[in-house]
Amino acid sequence: MDGGIDLKKVILAAVLLVALIGLSTAELMKSAADGQWYNYATSTEKNTSFTFEQSVQGNGYFMTYMYAKEGNLEMKNYAHGSGSIDNQATLAAYHMERTKHPVAEDWNDYNLSCIQFKEDNAMVYAPMKIAVGTGYYAANPVDYSSLLKEKTWVKNYRAATSMHHEVEYAHALDKELDLVAKEKFNYTYDPIYEGDAVTQMKINEDVTDGKVHLGVLQGDQQWVTKDAVKNGANQIITKSPLTYTAWKHPAIEIDEDYWGTYHIEKNMTLDVPYKRIEASDDWLPCCFGGYMTMPTYYQKGSYGFGSNVKGVFDCTCFKALEQAEFPRVY
């Protein structure tokens, strides 16, 4: 049209503008710290490893404490007492994080953690008097009369798993313990979550005149109401699974206590693999396939565009008037 707007040029310019905005958003990211623009594609990897070995033999008073945390894994070993000790122990911990966020491909996050603890420990209680320093306590030795205690627990938060072993008030303890905790998590952006959590504790011990406690707790997956949409007299309830929890109604619960002299062997292993596929919808799906191809929860309801969305997007509801609603008055 002469003197008017060229519709084809307007449409072409709009398409080019949208393409440029999409390209800039995909490839660039603005830093809130300095206001500069950076390439959005990233690839990182971090590894952490730790190894500890010990061999201890002697007589006197002893107190030991070991703690390790890697990713969603956690363990603790604690012991004290007076008398003789012959201890061999090894602790190894490893954690790896890897992220790949390329521009033109799906994202991928991969985490791997492991903790392993082995111990061969023989302890015999005896009251001990130990001279300390060169002053008063050198001439007046300190009296240590502490019965034997050793406590080991491991937690795997990825699967809400906890294993606990404790010996108290013992006069003698000869124990072999092997503990392993592993967890991996792989997330491929839109839509796969996949992982595995393994927790294992092996015990072979002889306890003399003491108390032994053994416990295992495994959380269960809890469901809660995520959304409620009123539809006339009916109510539609959508539920979504949350993370594992052991506060109420655990999946596995073991609680054992023994007083006296015992030989105990335990082999406890818990493996919790999981996989979830959860595809997300495209941004503004009505702009790609139209109103009729939109999911129903976008067409109406609190998730979507409101209760009267059909009157806005659905062209079939339009009806041409046969005559003007307000006739002209001549």
Each domain of the chain, given as residue ranges in start order, spans: 1-39, 41-221+254-277, 286-330
Q: Which residues are bridge partners to 101 per DSSP?
A: 42
Given a cut of 90, whether residue 230 has pLDDT beyond it is: no
Band the pLDDT of 6: cuts 50, 70, 90: low
Given a cut of 50, whether residue 240 has pLDDT beyond it is: no
Kind plus residue range of the DSSP H or E element containing 289: helix 286-289
**Model pLDDT, residue 31:** 45
Q: Which of 93-97, 243-247, 302-306 has the highest mean pLDDT?
A: 93-97
Band the pLDDT of 35: cuts 50, 70, 90: low
Beta carbons within 10 angstroms of residue 254's beta carbon? 13
Band the pLDDT of 228: cuts 50, 70, 90: very low
The closest of 250, 242, 236, 211 to 300, measured between CA atoms, is 236
Q: What is the pLDDT of residues 99-143, one digit of tens each?
A: 887 765 567 889 999 999 999 999 999 999 888 888 888 888 888
**Model pLDDT, residue 251:** 87
Band the pLDDT of 227: cuts 50, 70, 90: very low
**Model pLDDT, residue 87:** 96
Q: What is the pLDDT of residues 290-323, one digit of tens each?
A: 555 666 666 665 555 555 566 565 555 556 666 6
In the chain, where do the E strands start and end?
28-30, 37-39, 42-70, 73-101, 108-125, 128-130, 142-144, 148-156, 161-170, 172-188, 192-218, 220-231, 234-245, 252-277
Name the percent of the chain lying above pLDDT 90. Answer: 44
